[in-house]
Each structure stands twice: as C-alpha cells, then as structure tokens.
Amino acid sequence: MARMKKIGVLTSGGDSPGMNAAIRATVRTAIYEGVEVVGIQEGFNGLINANFTPLNARAVSNILQRGGTILQSARSKEFRTVEGRQCAYDQLKKSGIEGLVIIGGDGSFTGAHIFDQEHRIPFVGVPGTIDNDLYGTDFTIGYDTALNTITNAVDKIKDTAASHNRIFFVEVMGRDTGYLALSSGIATGAEDILIPEEITDVEELVHNLVSAKKQKKNSSIVIVAEGDDGGGAIEIAKKVNALYSDFDTRVTVLGHVQRGGKPTAQDRILASRLGNSAVYALLSEKSGIMVGLKNGEVKETEIDVAISKDKNLKPQLLQLVDALAV
C-alpha cells in the first residue's frame, strides 16, 4: 500500500477545550512528514457538503490556547443514513483524501466506525470530550479544563454558601457518567456527590445534611451529575426540601460554561501528543483505532472496544468521598 499523501481532520459532537491543540498537532505532524492536510468544517456535515479547507502550518498558528474548535462541530442527522455516508465517501474520493483523523467522543467514533465498515476509509480517533467516558484512555481532551472550571466555580459558590448558612446543589455535566461530578466533588470538598453510576437515596442524603448541620457545618455543597437518577439538581433540591423544610437551599446549574475557556496545560499536552500519534498511526496503515493515554503512555484501542466497553469509576474514589465528608 502506498503511503498516504493527503488526510483530513475534523471535530465532531460536543466541543471540548484542547480540540484546537489536537488539530494543530495533526496538521503540523502531517506537514512534517510531507503529507497534505485538509480541515473539514462542521464535522460529518462537512464531509457530506465537501466543506474542505487546505491547512498549512501557519493556518494553525496561535490556536493552542483557544477553547472550542476552529473547524466547528455539528451533529449530523444526514450522516446517520446510508445515503448520507455514501455522499460523504464520494466527496472524499473526489477530493483525494485518503484517511481521516476524527476528534470527538463515542457518538463520533460510532459514526466513523460504521462509515469505515461500509466504505473502508482509514481513520484514527482522538478522544475529545469533557465527560472522560471513553474506555482505553485515562483522560480525554477537555476533561481537565472542565474539571478546573467546575472547581473554580464551586470555590466561589462556597464563599456565599458559608456567608448565608446555605446548602448549594451544583449540577455539572455527565449524562451517563459521573467522572466530572466525582472528581470535582473531591476537589471542592463537597458533602455529597450524586452520580449516574449509583442510585440516589434522598432520605440518606437528608440524613447526611442534617448530620453536617448538627456538627456545626455552616454550609454544604452537593455536586449532582446531570444524569443522576434522582432527576438533576433542581429535582433533588425539591425532594430534599420536601423532606426537611428547614434547609435554606439554592441550585446552580453550570451548564455549557464547563465546555468553554482556555485549555489547561495538561489538556494542551495531551491533545498535542494524541494528535501527533494519530497521524503516525494513519501513516503506519492503521485504521479503526483510538489513540489514548494509559499510565502516561500513548496506547491504541480498537474503536469498537472503546465505544462498547464501560469505563468504570475507581471504587477508591467513592470511598474517599465518604471518608472526607465527616
């Protein structure tokens, strides 16, 4: 098989801080190896619409520190159809793009996997999602930045919570996984953390909060993952007040602020390493894999494994929460 001469890079799904660093690393590594690079705008929609932009080394200057993605992102309904994927394939063949670096999460990788099965277009996935929910990597691009954003916000909330003897329920992202909630709860000293992986017992939560009040704690923070089975922070707060009306409670939903901002140094380094490794994987004739970081080293995981296996929370962290909340 002849060495690739032209590759494409796209970002898909929810944006995450550090995606631009991954784009930069992909482009400059490819150019370093004498390979032409095309930026595909608006994710898989860009494949279908041939929204292609040639990228040189200068095109990705001064983006390392920027949040979001210069290539923009979108969720494509059309790409979910056989006809849409056929159109995308035709556009790639017409433009001479021989392989893809796809930066995104499990939804993006699922679409790419189906596309590869149908049309045999080589691709390598780079995990970019603040949820940190992909199997095969210790960290995903954007997770560390989002974690720091949450921590900074909760630190500020704690100031006002202590001033008014209030309980704050702070909702963070995490529809299917509690990585952000668990880590931010530990980092901010939360009294309780509610996550999708565990069933929420509101009566037990009230008992813990009453116990904290009796111990003269002048405020409490409860971190709630948006996918918690209790219904999110607003519903949880209502249920708590229904059981114990003496609490002065407030709710803060951090929402999409968690996705924005300058990526941390850790996310910039992670994105740079993975973007670089993705190009070399393609040039080594590898496809249908995700590059990730395991124990400090870049490792490759088959994409079907990365999207099908659950990434379990460490039991030690759950135990740590109980011990530190006394």
* Per-residue confidence (pLDDT) for residue 166, from 0 to 100: 87
Q: Given 131, 144, 228, 267, which residue is catalytic? A: 131
Residue 159 bears catalytic tag: no
Helix/strand/coil percentages in the chain, nearest 5: 45, 20, 35
d(CA 83, CA 79): 8
Tokens of 72: 């923009």
pLDDT tens readout for residues 47-102 = 999 999 999 999 999 999 999 999 998 888 899 999 999 999 999 999 999 999 99
Whether 185 and 282 map to the same domain: the answer is: no
b/e string for 195-231 if b means 16 or more Cβ within 10 A?
A: bbbeebebeebbebbeebbeeeeebbbbbbbbbbebe
pLDDT tens readout for residues 101-128 = 999 999 999 999 999 999 999 999 999 9
Report DSSP letters for 162-213, one per residue.
HHHT-EEEEEE--SS--HHHHHHHHHHT-SEEE-TTS---HHHHHHHHHHHH
CATH number at residue 160: 3.40.50.460
Whether 248 and 299 map to the same domain: the answer is: no
Range of the domain at 207: 144-259
d(CA 165, CA 142): 33
Domain assignment of residue 322, yes or no: no
Whether 39 and 116 map to the same domain: the answer is: yes
Whether 19 and 105 map to the same domain: the answer is: yes
Q: Work out whether strand 52-55 and strand 36-40 pair parallel, antiparallel, or are unpaired.
A: antiparallel
Whether 124 and 248 map to the same domain: the answer is: no
Whether 151 and 111 map to the same domain: the answer is: no
* Per-residue confidence (pLDDT) for residue 2, from 0 to 100: 62
d(CA 168, CA 157): 8
Where is the domain boundary, 224, 239, 259? 259
Domain assignment of residue 289, yes or no: yes
Domain assignment of residue 314, yes or no: no
Number of CB atoms found within 10 A of residue 141's CB: 34
pLDDT tens readout for residues 185-211 = 999 999 999 999 999 999 999 998 988
pTM of the predicted model as reported, rounded to 2 decimal places: 0.94
Domain assignment of residue 87, yes or no: yes
Domain assignment of residue 108, yes or no: yes
pLDDT tens readout for residues 221-233 = 999 999 999 889 9
Whether 14 and 72 map to the same domain: the answer is: yes
Q: Is 295 exposed, middle or buried (0-12, 13-18, 19+ CB in 10 A)?
A: exposed
Phi/psi of residue 6, each to 5°?
-150, 125
Whether 78 and 149 map to the same domain: the answer is: no
Whether 17 and 64 map to the same domain: the answer is: yes
Domain assignment of residue 208, yes or no: yes
